[in-house]
Structure 1
Amino acid sequence: MIFKGSRNRFGFAALIGVSVAAMVSGSGHASRTSGDATSGTWATTTLRDAAGHAIGKVGFSGWGRFVHVSVRVRLPADSAEFHGFHIHANDNPANGSGCVADPQQPSSTWFASVDGHWNPGGETHGHHDGDLPTLMRRADGTAEMHFRLDKFAVRDVLARAVIVHTGPDNVGNVPLGDAPNQYTANSQAAIDATKATGNAGNRFACGVLSGRRHPQPVSSG
């Protein structure tokens, strides 16, 4: 993924007006929104943990050829400093649908109902359409992130799920060593986990995106 500095103003669903801090573009394929410049589409969700407690909000807003994304959450102050943050497919009825979790069950089962990362191109992790920048938790538990991207349109993510993971996303890299989140050389299990999810751990919070699918054309004048 490519990050470039940027400063802009935008809003989503009349909820939040923020400044854009970065641009994220998909690597290895053309922009999904190029040639489809629209504004007025949006998608939002409230993220909830396994107990159903709201921990924050996520919004996607279409402006021109970009999708602007805003994230504001509060995480446990003793949680990992970095948290994987992804769009999940939520498209396999065999696994259920929506953000389903039982806090009495092992955390490894939480939100399995929204399936794996949204990955229509069949890429390895780090190049999924659903791969988003990692959240960094502040000392007080809050995390906030604002960025824009052009690898999909807002309409593509409606009814999909946003997941905050319990641990950091290694973005497709397999660090070697004996410490936590490091792996012995040639560990196939670690390689498989990295290719699938960035080995970001269990799913901590979930929200299904809803909003406006039909765009308002952007004036070319």
Structure 2
Amino acid sequence: MKYSIFAMTLSASAMLAGCATTQGESAEGVAPTSATAVLLAADGSSRGEARVTEASDGLHVMVDAKGLTPGMHAVHVHGTGNCTPPDFTSAGGHWNPSGRQHGRDNPAGMHMGDMPNMIAGADGSGQMEYVIPGARLGSGGMPMLDADGAAIVIHAQADDNRSDPAGNAGGRVACGVISGG
């Protein structure tokens, strides 16, 4: 009888463990493999969303924005998961765990949070996809989602891809805290 109860308990535990997933999991000790950010303007209105997915080649960042002024906008990963309006400076500087300078065209660059510019069309919407090579969400030596988190920030202007520290990209017009799940 005791053996049967033990066997059933062990079997039930194994079945429950098999139900766990790693994608977006927030259980202690399990790093998420995807995360999202709801992008908001300073007035709290929606500016779209971003999704970050971990893959073997790095982090795949997909931004789907709306309500922007038509034209080119810088999009960066910032090093603090805080988007306090109106200027979103609470998101800190660009995510830069390796201590480099800013910009793809800077010989001493680039930050891990530096990404290509995004074009917003006449209707104010824009999309971009980018892979941050070798980056990880919540694991490894320099995870994006460290103790103070991270945010996606859309700037008012284009990034010149060389000026340190922020590429002369202008003010922050949208911000979203990146969270696993």
Give 1:64 deviation, angstroms: 2.5
Choose from 69, 92, 104 the match for 1:115: 92
Structure 1 unpaired stretches of 5+:
1-11, 14-38, 91-96, 103-109, 173-193, 213-221
Choose from 114, 137, 140 the match for 2:123: 140
Does residue 166 of the first structure (1) align with residue 143 of the second (2)?
no
User: For residue 130 of structure 1, what is the aligned residue in structure 2?
Assistant: 113
Aligned residue identity for 1:163 = V
Question: Counterparts of 2:65 and 2:132 in 1: how far apart (Å)?
Answer: 20
Choose 1 or 2 for highest CA Rg: 2
Question: Counterparts of 1:152 and 1:61 in 2: how far apart (Å)?
Answer: 10
Choose from 205, 213, 219 the match for 2:174: 205
Does residue 195 of the first structure (1) align with residue 164 of the second (2)?
yes
User: For residue 32 of structure 1, what is the aligned residue in structure 2?
Assistant: none
Cα shift readout 1:36-79 (whole Å, capped 9, x = no counterpart) = xxx97011110000001111010111122332221101133xx2
Aligned residue identity for 1:145 = M
User: For residue 16 of structure 2, what is the aligned residue in structure 1?
Assistant: none
Residues 117 and 123 (structure 1 numbering): CA distance in 2 closer, same or farther, change over 3 Å? same
Q: TM-score, normalised by structure 1?
A: 0.59
Cα shift readout 1:101-150 (whole Å, capped 9, x = no counterpart) = 13xxxxxxx01111111112221111001101111111211101123332
Structure 2 unpaired stretches of 5+:
1-22, 25-30, 104-109
Question: Does the 8 Å contact 2:57/2:134 carry over to 1?
Answer: no
User: For residue 157 of structure 1, what is the aligned residue in structure 2?
Assistant: 144
Choose from 39, 46, 52 the match for 2:38: 46
Does residue 98 of the first structure (1) align with residue 82 of the second (2)?
yes
Aligned residue identity for 2:63 = V
Question: Counterparts of 1:117 and 1:147 in 2: how far apart (Å)?
Answer: 16
Q: TM-score, normalised by structure 2?
A: 0.71
Question: Does the 8 Å contact 1:80/1:168 carry over to 2?
Answer: no
Aligned residue identity for 1:81 = G
